[in-house]
Structure 1
Amino acid sequence: MKLYLIYGGKSAEHEVSLKSAYSIMTILYYEYYTVIPVYITKEGKWLKGETIESKDQVPAKEDLERTDNKIDFNFNEMLEGESVAFPVLHGPNGEDGTIQGLFEVFDIPYVGAGVLTSAVGMDKVVSKRIFSDAGLPILPYKEVYLNEWTIDPETVSDQLEADIGYPMYIKPVNMGSSVGVARADDHMGLIRAMGLAFEYDHRIVVEKGVEVREIEVALLGNEDIHTSVPGELVKHKSFYDYEDKYINDKVIRQVPSDIPDELAKELREMAVEAFRAINGSGVSRVDFFLTEDNEIYINEINTFPGFTQNSMYPRVWAKTGLPYEDLIQEVIQLGIRRHKDKHTANTNRNKDNLTS
């Protein structure tokens, strides 16, 4: 089977994608797949690298984003023979349902969540509304549009101070990996944080800041959903930004989290509820806030979490009993299975129409 490993992308999470793609390339079971690496540049150009048929042929990490050793990619290639797409993309234009819609239109099996799930999971405001409707606890928040802020920033900031209060966390609505996220402890900090967030999106979400532990649960499956042991991002300061997480690697990932078994069970059950609420499939990671009094709040769901060997998603699965290489094989098979199940349903529906 030809596996098109698609990485890079136009989003600010381009570098995270490169790291995930390289890790996957080095661990794949090449006895099952011929890998065609497809690099999407920051400008949106699709380029094909050399075919990989064994671990010995995996390019050096720094070669993944070289363009002089790649050729223009013809998308029609994916329509020929037995193939599956593996979009190792984070953020907008990759994790938000756009590329998933492309694969659906051309009937190409692909790894990860579907169109609706990807779009909802990427949008922090829409997902919060759905979680709230499903009875899952969330922290107080407000949505702010760029035009509101541009016209009257003082009125907006006064309203946020009255409704949310300090500290606040300000985030672009459609972005991940803590890109564009900042904490505000006073008025001037809020002004700076709003400006930063609006560099990445025309909608931002402002959330109430509380002292919490950050607990994460991984999910795997389509209709049959499995959960991992919870992991924890152990913090030595109130907030870790993109550079702390991915450049300086200052985040300590504790697996499993040091929490009581009953609390771990409750978190895993809530993760499944969140996954089902957005019609999840394939892979996801649900991030929770846990207060000192063991109150649980759902922060967000990540429909394509980081896949480096040091990322939380593969680490919690390894601790749960699923090694990294087997995890990659399983997520690919889940994508293929979902595609086959969809075709079976369509075929049965067409038969019913013919006999009615």
Structure 2
Amino acid sequence: MTKTLHHRACHLCEAICGLTIETTEVEGRVQITSIKGDAQDTFSRGHICPKAVALQDIQNDPDRLRQPMRRVGREWQPIEWEDAFNLVAERLAAIQKRHGQNAVAVYQGNPSVHNYGLMTHSNYFLGLLKTRNRFSATSVDQLPHHLTSHLMYGHGLLLPIPDIDHTDFMLILGGNPLASNGSIMTVPDVEKRLKAIQARGGKVVVVDPRRSETAAMADQHLFVRPGGDAALLFGLLNTLFAEGLTRDSHLPVDGLEEVRAAVASFTAEAMSPLCAVPAEQIRQLARDFAAAPTAVCYGRMGVSTQAFGTLCHWVVQLINLVTGNLDRVGGALCTEPAVDLVASTSGGHFNL
């Protein structure tokens, strides 16, 4: 019996936690005997969630598919890899020739979009298909993020994320990072990182219609009317302008005066009945956010999957911008990833 230790990463979600996997080989058959968090991983620092631990069960499951299967009638029959590739290529080409390019649709789930191999190579394949019917988890919960970035920054994947490890004030809307591991924030062990904000004298504020796990540990929880987040955000932005709480940004900015004029009537008093948050609480939240040495506003799925999702994310970006917290340590940062999809892909397109 031979035991081997492997250092890998879990790509079931964007946290990409480091793993230490122990395997045992007996009579030529390799089995996973344990999966633990990798304490030497500088990003996840030993943290993993139950999904990563369950990879052992998936890998060792006797019913796991180990080769391609082809459906013949009502039965599934094994097929060789080369035959499978040829069959798929032939069928895709035939379907598109007969029905057009968009007759083929693609769905990419979390394990594929967070896999470096597919991340770096799937776009070439999808480009050859030339279908507009491409779907993923993004289609359900985060397209407003991408549309906002597309319109504001010129690329749908240019997504500023909270610098949670250095911020002094974190405002969370429509997100429950304790359950999601910090979606579109890429933060393993997010609970410790949120508590670290509090430990260094900072503040965590959650806006949510329900008392979520994250709201329960926050310094302040504001109950907002479901779907009322845009009104609250506009009330915050209006207060920042009206009370002179803005800071100059080092970034080149176009159209800010037009924004100021556009939100002039969206006062906290006017927005309060729409979001069910008292006007004075809206104003005080804006003041606290602006007064913090560094701050970041973070909106997630709850402010995406609603009638005004894109407006919400636009104002989230504006709040970070006008308080001088966009592209700033402790604020919202544009990352420098190992695989730079912004540099290697087009900016995306939307049917506007």
What range describes the TM-score normalised by the shorter chain of this pair?
under 0.3
Output the TM-score relative to the length of structure 1. Answer: 0.26
Rg (Cα) greater in structure:
2
Output the TM-score relative to the length of structure 2. Answer: 0.27
More strand by share: 1
